[in-house]
Chains A and B, each alone.
Chain A
């Protein structure tokens, strides 16, 4: 009797285990290509750059270990580092705020249209798949001294200096071009989210006397907040990495007015051949982005609404 009971017990757990195992193994096999790709092209290079950030590699010399020298230099010696940091954060904050406000405004406007929604979505999305470097070169021509922008500014009597030559306005040129190039992505995403807000919620609110303003803030905004959260996180990450527009339009100038972390990494690494130092800068950027993203995920509990 007891032997029989033991046998029964051992059979019972065995069956589920055998049942699950083949599926798990199959899933692992299917994941392997992506996983290997991630390891080879993402994880290993990232670890390599961490190792490099402790060397003085100059590309044509043999790297030698220098401990934390690159980081010490970064934080205590380099006169440009804090300027670069300030420029990057300033750009990220301004660009992020303007991007979200403008894209949300445009998305709401498009969703209010009776006709032509698709056309306007395409129009605003077009700059998103225009190559950034090529578009920035065109904007460089527009902003060049005595160019189109200067002509328009003079004609309107605005009294603004040339953007590329003014240390206070050069970053605004970068913000403007980056907004033009990228706001369309969020417009399309937010517009799609707005279209998913159930119509009967809005109809019920209208019946109860809510006006358009109230319907937006009380119903539509909360219901699309997960999408806004996603847009905020992604836009914040890309704004901290800003490089293309700076490289094509201002090369970090005039002076150091538009030098950003992304540009400094390129300049130190591929122009000055200070690969170890460039890797240290890259890790500072990585840590900043990670910290910001963690903070955003932490704070989302306060303003992001999920239907449960």
Chain B
């Protein structure tokens, strides 16, 4: 009887010790990520497992939603105190949401994390006021996709990186006939093209300034594609995303060229029935300034496991992880050294794919945006269609958007 009691006591003490040791070592992190498909989800799950492979005491639980829903749910989760430890963030939405994320500069300095290994423009995109809030996993300069079959049929020379606005417009005019268009323009292309031409739409103080001479001049050119030159189809301000509409027209062969980023290549290959080429945005007289966007992973300010999350996001953006994403064609890596892997896989069948990306990245700048950029883009989508249809001029359009964006 005494022996049994002692045995039970020892067992209880032992269990208690094991439990204590186990709970002290094991960290469970949650990670919020958007996803576009089952294949996408598997890629992210693979990255989550890479964290555990490197740090066996850290387990990362991935939760995914679609792209659009992600941004609707994020503030709701934040407001209700349910943010994940690791929060995925796109550079264009960083000004809206950076307050949810832990500043990383101190950790980078303490651990001597090599920020220089990443493409500088996306480090700028993931920063607010020089403070980095997320480690980037991808970088995407806006480029022009073209329908090579259509260009060859029309006798248009294939565009070279660094081509000019005049060359671009001339090509688009030759490609516009028989109900087909040379180019597909959307309202949100305005800021991408304005930046490419060196025209400012945000002033030096970081405020939206759409009524400046250069901003209006850029708007005049963009609007002219549809309203004056008529090289682009009209896109209404409808429920379908204008970008999706134009992409659909490109995939069906109705428009020969359109603006998008490298993130679209993986899906495009399955849909387009023609040879696809890639080239840079058209530059003005000066050098090209290709804006970039990208996404990365931040640490929630409300996380109770910030140190473990910091380790985790270093793994999620490690050379091994980004090379994996590149080989999957999932993302153009934010790490410069890993980008060649992406060219070999995702851009393999794209004419001039590597050259266009290289040239754009070599001339890339962060996408300059304001803290209410989502609202500004909505206003672009609402007001540019009137101008494209010829019902409003560039100055009127920019004045309307400027006054409403300030609300």
Contact = CB atoms under 8 A, between A and B. Distances in A.
Given A78-B407, A145-B235, A248-B239, A271 B374 contact: yes
A146 B236 contact: no
B110 interface: no
Contact of B240 (A79, A140, A252): A140
A254 B385 contact: yes
A251 to B, nearest CB: 5
Given A251-B237, A255-B385, 18 more contacts: A80-B407, A137-B240, A140-B240, A164-B236, A165-B385, A165-B386, A165-B388, A166-B391, A247-B239, A249-B238, A249-B239, A250-B239, A252-B382, A253-B382, A253-B385, A254-B237, A270-B72, A273-B75
Interface stretch (B29-37, B54-62, B92-100, B206-214): B92-100
A285 B396 CA distance: 30
B237 A250 contact: yes
A260 interface: no
B303 interface: no
Nearest to A136: B239
B31 to A, nearest CB: 19
Interface residues of B, number: 36
Contacts of A255: 382-383, 385-386, 392, 400
Nearest to B403: A79
Chain B: interface secondary structure?
helix
A250 B236 contact: yes
Q: Which one of A60, A166, A271 has the highest number of Cβ atoms from chain B below 10 Å of its Cβ?
A: A60
A247 B378 CA distance: 12
B389 A254 contact: yes
B78 A60 contact: yes
Task: Name, among B100, B375, B388, the residue most crowded by chain A CB atoms within 10 Å (CB to CB).
Answer: B375
25 contacts: A60-B78, A136-B239, A137-B239, A146-B233, A162-B234, A162-B236, A164-B236, A165-B388, A165-B389, A165-B391, A247-B239, A248-B238, A250-B238, A251-B238, A251-B378, A251-B381, A253-B236, A253-B237, A254-B383, A254-B385, A254-B389, A254-B391, A256-B382, A271-B375, A273-B75
A21 B234 CA distance: 71
A144 interface: yes
A60 B400 CA distance: 28
Interface string B382-407: 11011011011000000010011001
By Cβ-Cβ distance, the 8 closest A-B pairs, closest first, are A253-B237, A164-B236, A253-B382, A59-B75, A248-B239, A254-B385, A165-B389, A145-B234
Interface residues of A, number: 37
Interface string B356-391: 000000000000000010110010011101101101
Contact of A254 (B76, B97, B382): B382
Given A137-B239, A254-B236, A271-B378, A59 B383 contact: no
Contacts of B116: none
B72 A77 contact: no
A243 to B, nearest CB: 12
Interface in B244-294: 245
Contacts of B407: 73, 77-80
B236 A165 contact: yes
A140 B239 contact: yes
Interface string B215-246: 00000000000000000011111111000010
A145 B236 contact: yes
Contacts of A61: 99
B79 interface: yes
Interface in B144-184: 179
Nearest to A141: B240
A253 B237 CA distance: 5
A164 B386 CA distance: 10
Contacts of A143: 236
A140 B245 CA distance: 12
A145 B233 contact: yes
B75 A140 contact: no
Interface in A119-150: 136-137, 140, 143-146
A60 B75 contact: yes
A76 to B, nearest CB: 12
A296 interface: no
B360 to A, nearest CB: 30
